[in-house]
Amino acid sequence: MSVLLEAPPPNHREAPPPSPPERLRLETAAVRLSFTWFGAKKTLSAGQKAQAAEAFGAAGDSLSAGKKLLDTRHPKYRGVSAVRSQAVAYWKGVSLPFPEPGVRLVRRGDVETLQHRFEGYREELNEAVQELDEVYGELRDSARRRLGELFESGDYPERLGGLFAVEWDFPSVEPPEYLRRLSPELYQRECERTRARFEEAVALAEQAFGEELQRLVSHLAERLEGQADGKPKVFRDSAVENLQAFFERFRCLRLSTSGELDELVEEAEAVLAGVRPEGLRNHTSLRGQAAEGLGRVAQSLESLLVDRPRRRVMRRGA
């Protein structure tokens, strides 16, 4: 028995796959991370600067000077700062750059996870600030002794609670729909501008991936090759682990727009496939092969990045 297959209409055509900027626009959401932070430093008043400048025979308005309100090296203050650093590192690690200050792009499927992690950082920050508040009186007394006549009680709030915070939101980077009704011409211009910004985002992502890979492979290759004082150079496990983490992140966030960059990432990954830090330390031949392979990748990346000069990004004012 024969089966007749109906032919598609003459004008039927498959839609072309979306371009990288279009795919980025369809698959990501913008996320903005911001902090409220009590300033541990303060600029001297005009009178204080004039007094300080007098010792050098200088004019007060030609001197820039400030005072340190709190000892930022104190373990409790470092604990507060560490939470901010971790939050920023996570935010940058799961997202791609976007040509707007303070905004990055995250895969829509990762939004819920990101929300949960940020809520965790908020709790950690609140706990760290509470611990800092417990030694705040001690830090203020220390500042009184260190600053002498520069100490002013008005610079110090009663408590630090509420003066440190982490916030995030998901701003729209699309033209507002109401603009279509108010002014179709202006709406179209905004659509063009949005397309241009996502094209720029793709270029920024490629550039960031290339520069990060070059830094990681160059560092590890330099530590693996040659000797220092007659012995193999020392390298930390993190030099290998950071590269392997980069491979995983690149696979998750890759845009597949630069065949050359994709190939170099695959080449570097092949060099370290199944390799552990202790293996590089214990086997001279393996160490040499890895150094040679990563060195080739680093040289190719250098040429690639030179041939593609950094784009000048026009950012809107914050």
Question: pLDDT category, 48, cuts 50, 70, 90?
Answer: confident
Residues 211 and 295 in one domain: yes
pLDDT at 61: 72
Number of Cβ within 10 Å of residue 260's Cβ equals: 15
Q: Final residue of a domain: which of 112, 142, 169?
A: 169
**Does 17 score more than 90 pLDDT?**
no
Calculate the average pLDDT of the chain. 88
**Domain's final residue, options 169, 199, 232:** 169
**249 contacts 93 by C-beta, under 8 angstroms:** yes
Number of domains in the chain: 2
Same domain for 207 and 290, yes or no, is yes
The reply to whether 60 falls in a domain is no
Residue 316 counted as domain residue: no
Q: How many CB atoms lie within 10 A of CB 210?
A: 20
Mean per-residue pLDDT, 68-82: 96
pLDDT of 103-143, one tens digit each? 999 999 999 999 999 999 999 999 999 999 999 999 999 99
- The stretch 229-245 carries a mean pLDDT of 88
Dihedral sign (CA 101, 216, 90, 20): positive
226 falls in which pLDDT band (50, 70, 90)? confident
Per residue in 153-174, is it b (16+ CB within 10 Å) or e — as a string?
A: eeebeeebeeebebebeeeebe
